[in-house]
Structure 1
């Protein structure tokens, strides 16, 4: 893939990992230290509105294999899928907007409030390797995040080849040549992008809060360990509340 235009830098998401012993005696990550915004994924629209959180229901992502990719879609569309998978299907994506920015994004797999949360990992990542001020997430270098199926990357490559043929040039910028007009229709906040018309496999693309940075992704699980929701926190709010901007920004 070609390089992509970057949006204005606005700092790095800061989070602190704390370790507490689990019931089994093994180390466990205290997710509440990584994000205070996980309730966004469980609150109803009325409760969110009362907290000055604007809700954007942007449509369903088509997970053809159930292997989920959460990444910067422009510089990391080939990022490995998360270790935990879900049944193939079409799943709704919700964006949470505060202070004029996309504060968080969720993809819902089943109804219910998670009873526990875990940090989403890709192959090769080990929770036990983290130190107290570290967490796993994905880097953003183009001001955007996404959810898509791992199989959809092949469709992005196919679309890029189509654009190359149309332009009779290998110099293709996927953002300028494909995405820019689609994003502009939604004030550059989001788009449900279908790389190849008529083929299943689309990409939920959304503005990543303050822009470039490093952002954690979480699985919300029920009592049996079944995934209910996938949640990305862009560090725009604290305590799932959009009435008071963190740090007085």
Structure 2
């Protein structure tokens, strides 16, 4: 299901937006299907214009102490975006990078997914992520990140609210892409910041699971790869 714009915002606030995909009329979402999911997979992946080279690169380690991870546009909705449950721990943050240049020469690389790797167990399914206490999405609705500054981020969902600077620019401690300590956080909590694929838009948050249902990752899908 390609999400190319917002048709109706169903819920915002702390849960993050739950929106309709443009032109979607099916009763149940076709996406996500594991065959359309390409995070953390180096090699090649399909796009509308053919298969493209894909690489993966580590961004750093994210510290989670509250059992919640916020997925946000760090320059617009930091400390106010949707939060998703994950086990406490320190996890790899990985960018899946697609070479979208016409000649596949590396001149137009785009971040296709920002992923929080929760487990090395094999992934057997991918699902639409749901914030705790919120209804599961139905039809073509999804929870995700509304992006208006061309960036996406993961951060400990409690620390980013408790210690977020209150000055005119609370995101001033962020300098481009990378890992940044949350000012004042007591237990090493930090924020992972990345470019967001094609830039502004609305991007689904997905969770991958092992055969026993345990989570293997949390992912922001910037809709660069797959059957869109």
TM-score by length of 2: 0.72
Matching residue of 2:76: 75
Matched, 1:192 2:179: yes
Q: Number of matched residues? A: 194
**8 A contact 2:82–2:145 mirrored in 1:** no
**8 A contact 2:39–2:96 mirrored in 1:** yes
CA deviation after TM superposition for structure 1 residue 75, in Å: 1.7
Matched, 1:235 2:219: no
CA deviation after TM superposition for structure 1 residue 136, in Å: 2.6
Distance 1:56 1:156 in 2: 29
Matching residue of 1:122: 131
Matching residue of 1:243: none
Matching residue of 1:40: 39
Distance 1:143 1:109 in 2: 25
Cα distance, 1:198–1:65 mapped onto 2, change above 3 Å: closer
Matching residue of 1:151: 158
Asked which structure has the greater CA Rg, the reply is 1
Aligned Cα root-mean-square deviation (Å): 2.9
Matching residue of 1:26: none
CA deviation after TM superposition for structure 1 residue 40, in Å: 2.4
Q: 1:207 aligns with which of 177, 195, 217?
A: 195
Structure with the larger RCO, 1 or 2 (CA within 8 Å, 6+ apart): 1
Matching residue of 2:55: 54
Unaligned residue ranges in structure 1 (runs of 5+): 1-10, 21-28, 165-171, 184-189, 240-245
Higher strand share: 2
CA deviation after TM superposition for structure 1 residue 141, in Å: 1.4
Higher helix share: 1
Task: Give CA-to-partner distance per residue, 1:33-77, whole Å, 9 cap, x none.
Answer: 6x8642323x3x4x3699511322011100011211112122212
Distance 1:149 1:118 in 2: 21
**8 A contact 1:219–1:228 mirrored in 2:** yes
**8 A contact 1:17–1:134 mirrored in 2:** no
**8 A contact 2:82–2:144 mirrored in 1:** no
Matching residue of 2:31: 31
Cα distance, 1:119–1:69 mapped onto 2, change above 3 Å: same
**8 A contact 1:151–1:201 mirrored in 2:** no
**8 A contact 1:53–1:96 mirrored in 2:** yes
CA deviation after TM superposition for structure 1 residue 101, in Å: 1.6
Matching residue of 2:94: 94
Distance 2:70 2:225 in 1: 24
Q: 1:107 aligns with which of 116, 126, 129?
A: 116
Matched, 1:224 2:212: yes
Distance 2:38 2:197 in 1: 17
Cα distance, 1:62–1:153 mapped onto 2, change above 3 Å: same
